[in-house]
Amino acid sequence: MNPTTPEKRTALFPGTFDPFTIGHESLVRRGLSLMDEVVIAIGVNESKKSYFSLEKRIDMIRKLYKDEPRVKVESYDTLTIDFAKKVGARYILRGIRSVFDFEYEKTIADMNRTISGIETFVLFTEPALTHISSTQVRELLRYGCDVSSFVPIGMELQ
């Protein structure tokens, strides 16, 4: 890279995103105000029973960001820090809804920084969105409830 050209600031936003919610969308939007690029990284977790297939989640999120070239959507089945290095991300983006989230995220962030030097930055969830979680949305979906107020406009869940 040219010494006068600043290095691209890329953040990895890891999660299962099953499904991707308006809370996630808010974090990506706010992350883009701080970073040049956000890579939404869908982790493959064989111990979790997913509602949507990995391919469906990738497709839904890619369609949502089809007109935003600064957002990439990928999947991975390695350590998050290894995948961050692979895509050139020096930062990990995480969201915090509560003090319980903080304790969990702090422990992982400290471990990731110790192992790899990758910094984690956290954004507090917008107050109006703190009650929204993928777990709750999945539960509503399982019972056939309308979840349109919890997922981004235009996201097709079928």
pLDDT (mean) for 10-36: 97
Residue 72: half-sphere exposure toward Cβ, Cα within 13 Å: 16
- Residues with active-site annotation: 24, 48, 97, 134
In CATH, which of 3.40.190.10, 3.40.1190.20, 3.40.50.300, 3.40.50.620 is domain 10-142? Answer: 3.40.50.620
Give the whole-angstrom CA distance, residue 39 versus residue 70. 8
Predicted pLDDT of residue 5 = 63
Question: Residue 2: which pLDDT band, with cuts at 50, 70 and 90?
Answer: low
The torsion defined by the Cα of 86, 87, 88 and 93, in degrees rounded to 10, comes to -110
Predicted pLDDT of residue 155 = 86
H-type helices in 65-133, by residue range?
80-86, 99-116
pLDDT digits (tens, 9 = 90+) for 85-118: 999 999 999 999 988 899 999 999 999 999 999 9
Q: What is the pTM of this model?
A: 0.93
* Tokens (6 digits) for 8: 């691209």
Q: Are 137 and 157 contacting, i.e. CB atoms less than 8 angstroms apart?
A: no
